[in-house]
C-alpha cells in the first residue's frame, strides 16, 4: 500500500513537471493576468473608479473616457490583429464595466495596458477584427450590450472600417433589417473576413458569420450593399455538442464560426472554406457565388471531416504551404490540413498542443510564416472563476 502511494506521489510530481515543461514551438508575445487600460496616459489597473457610475454602463456623452466605469475582472479579450508593431485587441461588451471594445498595444512589455483605438468611440461591441492588404482595419460592431439578463441593442449592427495610415474611420455601414433574423442575430456576428486584392481596393467584399441564427452576411464595398445567405451547412451539429475544455462541458450551440479564403484564381475569385464551431466538418464555396447575390445552394461543397474532437473556432490559410490552420478548442491545439489533400482524419494533424497555454484559442491568424493565436480560458470565465493571480490571457505565435 505504502509503496503504491509513493509511486503515485512520484508519478504526480513527474507529471506536473511534464505539464509545465516549456513548449519550444510556442513563443509568447503577451500574457496578462488581468486587463489594464491606458487612457491618454491615465492608467486603469484596478476597479479604482468602480463606484463612479451605477451599473457600469457608460454611454453617457457627458463623461470623458477616463471617468468611464471599469470592472477589471469582466474584461476578457477575444479577438486580435497585427499591424506592424501595433497589435489590436478587442474586448466584446458581454458584461458591465468594459471601458473600450477596440484597443491596441504598441509596446514590447509582457502585459501591456490596452489603449483605446483612436476614433473607435462609436463602437459598442466588437469580436474579431481583420486588416486587409489595403491598410484598412475592418470590424463588425454588434451594437449589442450583451450583458446576461440585460441584453440591450444600443444601436444597429454595422461594418466599420478605419484607414490605418490616418487612423480615421472611413466607413460605417449599418446592416439592413433583411440581413438579420431576429434579436439574437447581432450577438452571432463574431467575425469578418475581407476579400480584396491590393490593386483593387475599392472592390472589396466582406463575409460575416452569424453563429447565433445560422447565416452569412455578404457586403460589397463598391455597391454599398449587403445580403444574407442561409444554408443547412452553416448550422451546428447536435451530435458534436458537449466536448470538454479545461474540464468543463461546452454546450454552446455555435453555428457558422469562421470563413477563411484561399489565394485568388485567374479570375480573382477564391475558395471560401467555412465551418460551424460545433461540427467536425469543413465546407467550401467559390467566392464568385457569394459575390453574385444569387442563391448559392448548389455551389456549396462538403470538403470532408476532420475527425473526433476537432471542434474549432477561427481558421486561416498559409498560401505558400497551401495549409489551413484551425483553432481547435476541443483539444487545446492548432490543427493543420494541406488543402490539396483529401480532408479526412488521417490528413489532419496537430501542429501544436498545450493543455496549459492553449486553453481556448479564441482567435487565430496566419501572419507571414507564423500562426498567431489569442487564448483566453473562456470556459473558466463562463463556468467558474479565473484565478487573477495566474496568467489568463495570452497572445502566442
Ligand X SMILES: *[C@@H]1O[C@H](CO)[C@@H](O)[C@H](O)[C@H]1NC(C)=O
Q: Compare residues 95 and 315 and give the one whose CB is closer to ligand X.
A: 95
CA 93 to chain centre: 14
Classify burial at 94, counting beta carbons within 10 Å of its beta carbon; exposed 0-12, middle 13-18, buried 19 or more: buried
Q: Is 56 or 215 the residue whose CB approaches ligand X more closely? A: 56
Chain centre distance of CA 70: 23
- Are the beta carbons of 239 and 354 closer than 8 angstroms? no
Least distance from ligand X to the Cβ atom of residue 265, Å: 31
**Closer of 168 and 355 to ligand X (Cβ):** 355
In terms of CB distance, is 64 or 199 closer to ligand X?
Answer: 64
The least CB distance from residue 138 to ligand X, in Å, is: 26
Nearer to ligand X, 103 or 271 (CB): 103
C-alpha cell at 181: 433574423
DSSP string, 354-388: -TTT-SSEEEEEEETTEEEEEE--HHHHHHS---T
Cell of 291: 459575390
Is 44 or 289 the residue whose CB approaches ligand X more closely? 44
- Separation of alpha carbons 156 and 168, rounded Å: 21
Beta strands 281-286 and 248-250: pairing type? unpaired
CB of 22 to ligand X, least distance (A): 8
CB burial string 282-312: b at 16+ within 10 A, e below:
bbbbbbebbbeeeebeeebeebbebeebbbb
List the beta strands (DSSP E) in 42-148.
42-44, 79-83, 86-90, 102-105, 115-116, 130-131, 136-141, 144-147
For the CB of residue 239, give the shortest distance to ligand X in the complex, in Å.
Answer: 5
- For ligand X, the closer of residues 22 and 232 by Cβ is 22
Based on CB atoms, which residue is closest to ligand X, 48 or 200?
48
| Shortest reach from residue 75's CB to ligand X, in Å | 17
Give the nearest distance from C-beta 76 to ligand X in angstroms.
19
Q: Say if strands 225-229 and 42-44 run parallel, antiparallel, or are unpaired.
A: unpaired
Nearest C-alpha neighbor of 324 from the set 307, 306, 301: 306
Three-state secondary structure call for residue 284: strand
Q: Among residues 56 and 304, whose Cβ is nearest to ligand X?
A: 56
Residues 132, 162: contact at Cβ < 8 Å? Answer: no
Q: Which of residues 163 and 354 has its CB atom nearest to ligand X in the complex?
A: 354
CB of 53 to ligand X, least distance (A): 11
If the CB atoms of residues 111 and 305 are measured against ligand X, the closer one turns out to be 305
Alpha helices in the chain (DSSP H): 2-20, 287-292, 378-383
What is the Cα–Cα distance from 319 to 127, expressed in whole angstroms? 25
Q: Which three cell numbers stand for residue 92?
A: 466584446
Cβ atoms of 269 and 288 within 8 Å: the answer is yes
Q: Which three cell numbers stand for residue 96?
A: 458591465
Cβ neighbours of 87 (radius 10 Å)? 21
Q: For binding to ligand X (CB under 6 A), which residues are involved?
A: 23-25, 40, 55, 57, 64, 66-67, 145, 150, 152, 239, 241-242, 251
Amino acid at each position: 500500500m505504502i509503496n503504491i502511494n509513493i509511486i503515485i506521489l512520484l508519478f504526480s510530481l513527474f507529471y506536473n513537471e511534464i505539464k509545465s515543461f516549456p513548449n519550444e514551438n510556442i513563443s509568447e508575445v503577451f500574457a496578462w493576468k488581468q486587463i489594464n487600460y491606458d487612457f491618454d496616459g491615465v492608467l486603469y489597473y484596478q476597479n479604482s473608479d468602480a463606484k463612479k457610475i451605477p451599473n457600469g454602463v457608460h454611454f453617457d456623452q457627458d463623461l470623458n473616457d477616463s471617468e468611464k466605469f471599469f470592472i477589471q475582472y469582466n474584461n476578457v479579450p477575444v479577438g486580435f490583429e497585427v499591424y506592424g508593431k501595433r497589435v489590436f485587441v478587442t474586448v466584446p461588451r458581454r458584461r458591465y464595466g468594459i471601458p473600450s471594445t477596440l484597443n491596441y498595444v504598441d509596446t514590447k512589455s509582457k502585459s501591456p495596458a490596452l489603449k483605446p483605438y483612436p476614433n473607435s468611440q462609436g463602437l459598442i461591441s466588437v469580436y474579431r477584427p481583420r486588416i486587409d492588404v489595403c491598410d484598412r482595419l475592418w470590424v463588425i460592431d454588434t451594437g449589442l450590450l450583451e450583458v446576461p439578463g440585460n441584453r440591450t441593442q444600443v444601436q444597429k449592427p454595422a461594418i466599420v472600417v478605419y484607414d490605418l495610415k490616418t487612423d480615421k474611420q472611413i466607413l460605417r455601414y449599418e446592416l439592413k433589417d433583411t440581413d438579420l433574423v431576429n434579436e439574437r442575430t447581432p450577438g452571432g456576428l463574431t467575425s469578418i473576413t475581407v476579400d480584396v486584392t491590393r490593386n483593387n481596393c475599392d472592390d472589396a467584399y466582406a463575409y460575416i458569420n452569424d453563429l447565433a441564427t445560422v447565416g452569412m452576411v455578404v457586403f460589397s464595398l463598391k455597391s454599398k450593399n449587403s445580403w444574407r445567405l442561409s444554408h443547412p451547412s452553416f448550422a451546428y451539429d447536435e451530435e458534436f455538442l458537449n466536448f470538454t475544455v479545461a474540464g468543463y462541458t461546452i454546450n454552446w450551440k455555435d453555428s457558422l464560426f469562421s470563413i477563411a479564403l484561399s489565394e485568388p484564381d485567374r479570375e480573382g475569385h477564391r475558395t471560401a472554406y467555412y465551418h460551424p464551431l460545433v461540427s467536425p466538418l469543413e465546407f467550401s464555396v467559390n467566392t464568385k457565388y457569394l459575390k453574385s447575390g444569387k442563391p448559392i445552394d448548389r455551389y456549396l461543397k462538403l470538403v470532408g471531416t476532420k475527425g473526433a474532437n476537432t471542434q474549432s473556432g477561427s481558421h486561416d490559410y498559409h498560401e505558400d504551404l497551401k495549409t489551413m490552420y484551425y483553432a481547435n478548442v476541443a483539444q487545446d491545439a492548432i490543427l493543420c490540413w494541406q488543402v490539396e489533400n483529401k480532408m479526412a482524419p488521417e490528413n489532419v494533424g496537430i501542429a501544436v498542443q498545450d493543455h496549459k497555454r492553449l486553453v481556448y484559442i479564441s482567435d487565430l491568424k496566419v501572419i507571414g510564416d507564423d500562426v498567431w493565436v489569442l487564448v483566453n480560458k473562456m470556459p473558466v470565465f463562463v463556468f467558474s472563476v479565473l484565478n487573477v493571480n495566474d496568467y489568463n490571457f495570452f497572445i502566442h505565435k
